[in-house]
Structure 1
């Protein structure tokens, strides 16, 4: 495994970090708790020491699964990354969207990062994760109803108390990052980035490079699209958020698969899967520090972890970039 320093901190994370959204089941159709725990353990055995989760993933289920999976592992060998600011149990702040929990019950999701809410959320996360500190604590989405100074003063207090080591953000643009940094040092920004979704390359990634903020890229496999296993007639389970998503229209799937067919010979040449080639390309991109990758079972998590063994030359990266451009991405 390879490890990289996060921002100006002394926190190091594995370049392949276990993304535990799907482990929580919510918006992914379902989850198998034992499979998810085994997936986390299998990736740890290959050096994946960093795990990213959030309270909203399964309304606590994902964090509890992570807590169970890391039992018996020395805490100082792990980097636990979680979030705050999305409430399903409190109607306060900026209304996000309507959803259903894992039991099919209707829930309303709010983006809220008020001081008292953050303190409460942190305590709940610590309990579910069965730990006494969080390595990197991130606001999940900007909350336009709360002054940013109030939000990050609360995180600063948690750092002073030893419950949090470092502060990060998710889904922030360059201007929001700058504003957050006026209250507290922000070491990272978790943002969507994949071969077919590169909008953040315009302003956000260059700002992060300039200010030495690490980029934690989420959905680098574009939620499974870049595995090459999604066909235009693919059937999604009930509750799977990908159904109706713009990347999963029949036209988008065909366009993506045509591109993947062009780079598959390179994957074959390296004795790698398409997924591994995609992940290696991702962590080789300028400004991208970490790739957050989900897995439903141990086999998937092992394959993800082994992506670090793929090595790409400058010419090979240029070839992939050329095919991406030709495909319209």
Structure 2
């Protein structure tokens, strides 16, 4: 399958640089797969399209302030470090810039020595393994020194770092936000539950590979990144009960979708599980775990637009994207949303 099938022209001015003041005021494109219809609404209207007995599945991962700026202890040379994931204890896989300055044994100091990273292994493409040393609790030190790792297409500074977190973010570990969830407020979630819709939570820690472009012409040759997920027994039981009673499972975001599809493909049903998934979903694969999807508008030629196309067909999704450009929807992490049913 040719990657060009997932390309489209996107004017740069449609890439949202800052979040809206009111999370629920973003626009919502409602796509009906059966009728092949497209409606233009606002996110606060989502309650019109979900019904008692349905279940929204939310990813409760919390973004780490994973970008650190420090200096080499021996020369004072400036180094940027981006945390990817914790391997064991105080050992982390990271990206460093400029990579050529960081050799095995290099020590980097942050915040006048509040945090020190020593390089223990050199990896490809700027990757390093480091071991951190510090006083106190690592996450508290990181909160005081780190910055939010905003996507590369966001050029503006974020005045309130909580706007790059969902209101239900709990489990620390992501290098990027599950951005479909950014549209919800606590008030909207309460209204949804009061209407008889269930809410279930799972965790998938989003890696920076989510922004990595597909660099091969043939989609099947793309090497998918792996991300850590966890689904509790409570959530598995809840989802099985909803499905057995005829309710719809509506996934909030591609991260929740990848987690649910991983479990259903591995077990045939929803089960408590945790581990690493590198599942790559693209047409003509069919999704088995979900009946609806809430998602933002994704990058051209990305694995995310392919996943959405597997759920709703490539032709329908590409038509929806062309309409979104025509109607000047806001794109990507801080942009508008789609509801696909």
Report the TM-score range of the alignment, normalised by the length of the smaller protein.
under 0.3
Normalized per residue, which structure has more helix?
A: 1
TM-score w.r.t. structure 1 length? 0.27
Larger Cα-atom Rg: 2
Length-normalised TM-score, structure 2: 0.27
Structure number with higher strand proportion: 2
